[in-house]
Amino acid sequence: MNHVAAEPDVPATTPMPDYSEIPRITVTRSSADVAPGFLFISPQSMFEPAVPHGPQIVDNQGRLVWFRPVPEGQYATNVRVQRYRGEPVITWWQGTATDTGVGVGTAYIADLNYQIIASVQVGGGHSADLHEFLLTDRDTALVVSYQERSVDLSELDGPADGTLIDGVVEEIDVATGEVLLHWSGLEHIPVQESDMPVVMSLATGQPYDYLHLNAVSIDDDGHLLITARISSAVYKVHRQTGEVLWKLGSGYSTFVLGVGARVNWPHDGQAVGDGVYRIFDNGANNMIEGYESRVVWVRADTETGVATHVRTLTHPEHLSSVAEGNAQELPNGNVLVGWGRVGRISEFSPDGELLFEAETPSGPGWTTYRAFRQEWEGRPATPPEVRFDGEHVHAFWNGATGVARWRLLAGDTEDALREADVVDWDGLDTTIKLPEAGRAGFVRLEALDADGKVIDASPVTRVGA
């Protein structure tokens, strides 16, 4: 198998923008019954590349905890907590993307100090796509890439010298870069099984994206589940041989589909145990009118060959998401749903009550591909920063999760600092009013935990520096 570079690449970044410029979610509903943890999101818009983009950690009030800006023209997706070498890490994909949803980039792994400890690229000189980056308990990574192939499409009313996009899944040893599995959709799934006519692709001038892989996960028996949007199916794939073991949800389904078991243009197929699979069913692609998106649970019985509907979760406003989306079953039984292009994030109780709702940034093209709620303890490698703005000092410590309050120390000289104020943490950029003129030539900020203990402190800084 091919090997790719094992040394971690350093993702491109850019100076931290003004806090007010960072796009943020607006929380419109919350409850004491939401699951513990932060939200991990990455709002983006290809139509507004100059607006700051990057992975975010956000609390239940919509306040930023961490933001890593990416250069203009780049985007980030799939920010979440995973485990690598037995330790919790934060991961994301970063790169460029086309308006047809094809990403060219790299996947990154950072430790609790937000230091990059590994990066992952696909083999053969190709680039990792934005749709999936999943770490496994083998310390391998499952990634997707989109690769152009020359194919005769004349049988589908296309050109004999046509070009299509082959959805490729690879399992890569993170430490060595060795490609352990290379799976090509074109080698296993006939082009005729696509739900997208070739003529529609020709009209856009783009290569024929007949599958559009968007998710890879692991079934209970260790084999792979691959979700393909444009063939409207979840495929179970043998992890060693690449053989397609079954297809669920499409017109070419291995199973007889019971009422409510078929999906259209889906995302994020996941095993939840006992032969049941959870799928984000978009239900629309600007081709199906009046169809609302849903999270659906389907039982695939390999003995009877029948797939039956188990449960459906929809939004009270009957949201219909043309693309993107995911669902996450939380430890307390709640379900978090990222509604993709609709621009909503919702959390539901086990019986379907809407407990939490947030709107992602609005405007031309804004979307959040996936959303996750996870617990995370981040401790930046650098100390808190002091920033000044007229009569105010700003406490800034990007990514620190344990800060409950900030204590401001001030004085005429560096060695004569006294407590001037204590305020509650209020997001990534917490504002504190400076003491009256003449009483604060120098300041120092102390980050306090919930018990009032000092976690860390800024350097002593001259006011206005």
Query: Coil, strand or helix: which one is 124?
Result: coil
Domains annotated on the chain, with CATH:
19-374 (2.120.10.30), 385-462 (2.60.40.10)
Which residues are 234's β-sheet partners? Answer: 227, 248
Query: Coil, strand or helix: which one is 189?
Result: coil
How many angstroms separate the CA atoms of 213 and 233, rounded?
10
pLDDT in tens, the chain (465 residues): 555 445 677 777 788 999 899 999 999 999 999 999 999 999 999 889 999 999 999 999 999 999 999 999 999 999 999 999 999 999 999 999 887 778 999 999 999 999 999 999 999 889 999 999 999 999 999 999 999 999 999 999 999 999 999 999 999 999 999 999 999 999 999 999 999 999 888 788 889 999 999 999 999 999 999 999 999 999 999 999 999 999 998 889 999 999 999 999 999 999 999 999 999 999 975 556 668 999 999 999 999 999 999 999 999 999 999 999 999 999 999 999 999 999 999 999 999 999 999 999 877 889 999 999 999 999 999 999 999 998 999 999 999 999 999 999 999 999 999 999 999 999 999 999 998 865 679 999 999 999 999 999 999 999 987
CA distances 250 to 228, 242, 281, 438, Å, are 10, 20, 12, 73
How many angstroms separate the CA atoms of 239 and 81, rounded?
24
- CB distance 280 to 327 below 8 Å: yes
| Distance from chain centroid for Cα 208 | 26
Q: Is 160 exposed, middle or buried (0-12, 13-18, 19+ CB in 10 A)?
A: exposed
Strands of the sheet with 87-97, listed across from one edge: 75-84, 87-97, 103-110, 116-120
CA-wise closest residue to 91 among 43, 123, 57, 52: 57
Name the one residue in this structure whose structure tokens are 């091919």.
2
Residue type, 55: P
Q: Is 273 exposed, middle or buried (0-12, 13-18, 19+ CB in 10 A)?
A: exposed
pLDDT of 452: 98
DSSP 376-443: -----SS--EEEEETTEEEEE-TT-----EEEEEEESSTT--EEEEEEE--SSEEEEEPPSTTS-SEE
- CB distance 36 to 375 below 8 Å: yes
How many angstroms separate the CA atoms of 22 and 50, rounded?
11
- CB distance 315 to 347 below 8 Å: no
Query: Coil, strand or helix: which one is 220?
Result: coil
pLDDT of 204: 81
- CB distance 337 to 325 below 8 Å: yes
Give 18-61 pLDDT, tens digit per residue. Answer: 989 999 999 999 999 999 999 999 999 988 999 999 999 999 99
pLDDT of 438: 58
Residue type, 302: T
Radius of gyration of the chain (CA): 24
DSSP 412-431: SSTT--EEEEEEE--SSEEE
CA-wise closest residue to 282 among 320, 235, 311: 320
How many angstroms separate the CA atoms of 224 and 238, rounded?
6
Nearest-5° Cα angle at 329, 324 to 330: 125
- CB distance 67 to 42 below 8 Å: no
Question: How many alpha carbons lie under 13 Å from residue 458 in its C-beta half-sphere?
Answer: 26
Name the one residue in this structure whose structure tokens are 């039956």.
308
Question: If DSSP states are collapsed to H, E and C, what string results for 255-309?
Answer: CEECCCCCCCCCEEEEEEECCEEEEEECCCCCCCCCCCCEEEEEEEECCCCEEEE
Give 145-197 pLDDT, tens digit per residue. Answer: 999 999 999 999 999 999 999 999 999 999 999 999 999 999 999 999 999 99
pLDDT of 202: 79
- CB distance 456 to 447 below 8 Å: yes
pLDDT of 144: 98
How many angstroms separate the CA atoms of 16 and 385, rounded?
12
For the chain, helix (H) and strand (E) counts, in that order, are 2, 34
